[in-house]
Amino acid sequence: MNYLEVAEKTAREAGVILLENLGKVKEIEFKAKNSLVTEVDKLSEEIIISNIKSSFPSHGIFAEESGRDSSESEHVWLIDPIDGTTNYAHAYPFFSISIALETNGEVEVGLVYDPVKDEMFTAEKGKGAFLNGESITVSKSHAIEHSHVCTGFMHEVEWMVEANIKHFGNFIRRARAVRRDGSAALDLCYVACGRFDGFWELGLNPWDTAAAVLILKEAGGQVSTFTGDKYSIYEKEILASNSIVHEQMIEILAIED
């Protein structure tokens, strides 16, 4: 099997576990304020890592719960076993599994799976983006006033909370609607398929964005920092859009008061 086939197979296997345990979480730990981990996060991650290692034993792993292994491989899998753990812990059905393959610093394969809706977003670099095998593209919205945008909040860093409250208010005043759904990977994929026109957030980690950013780019979207500089999955701020409203979003994020 190729890389994407392995990722799809293991995401579906982990997705079954997530659905079987939805509403039945027994153990919740706090990594930081409002940063949760459940026994299902750990089980999902174990399944994903086990499957990937059985197919590609020499590849490295960088996963949310277990961290980065000591592999020196040029191939590194970035894994979020449940993106949206707080939603999951409250049986709120908006969460996903994110799996990406980075090769020599470039993300080559990305997959985000929503087991609740059985929606599989996938991309391979240079080959387009897909939802359940059907090609997807970003929206054609030209004005922020007609745009449906989304964000998320990092609770652990106070200045990020305050900064995003300001941004949230500024977007509410300008955009058609603003949402806060709780799974950055799915939010980015929703931009990729045109359900959202833009997304911004502070404080995300590589496993949150690696797969979805590739999917968005392959769907024709644009990704940058808040100021329009080149984005890296190791950045702590992300602005993503259908590319048409990108500059308008940068202007709103630059508002000081």
Residue 256: pLDDT over 90: no
Residue 31: pLDDT over 60: no
pLDDT tens by residue, 160-177: 989 999 999 999 999 999
Residue 26 banded pLDDT, cuts 50, 70, 90: low
Phi, psi of 214 (to 5 degrees): -60, -45
Strands 75-83 and 67-68: unpaired
Comparing 151-160, 175-184, 205-214, 242-251, which segment has the lowest mean pLDDT?
A: 151-160
Catalytic residue among 45, 102, 181, 208: 208
Catalytic residue among 85, 122, 151, 209: 85
CATH fold group of domain 144-253: D-Maltodextrin-Binding Protein; domain 2 (3.40.190)
Residue 64: pLDDT over 60: yes
Catalytic residue among 52, 79, 82, 215: 82
Catalytic residue among 45, 83, 102, 187: 83
Strands 75-83 and 96-103: antiparallel
pTM for this one? 0.94
Cα torsion angle, 170, 175, 180, 184, sign:
negative
Q: How many CB atoms lie within 10 A of CB 39?
A: 14
Q: How many CA atoms lie within 13 A of 127 on its CB side?
A: 12
Residue 215 pLDDT:
98
Which run of H or of E encompasses 35? strand 35-38
Residue 202 banded pLDDT, cuts 50, 70, 90: very high
| 64 assigned to active site | yes
Homologous superfamily of domain range 3-135 = Fructose-1,6-Bisphosphatase, subunit A, domain 1 (3.30.540.10)
Residue 36: pLDDT over 70: no
DSSP 230: B
Which positions ≥6 away from 158 have C-beta within 8 Å? none
Distance (Å, whole) CA 122 – CA 214: 9
Domains of the chain by residue range: 3-135, 144-253
Residue 72 pLDDT:
83
Phi, psi of 91 (to 5 degrees): 60, 30
Catalytic residue among 80, 114, 124, 201: 80
| 229 assigned to active site | no
| 118 assigned to active site | no
More confident residue, 30 or 242: 242
Please tell me if the domain spanning 3-135 has the same topology as the one spanning 144-253: no
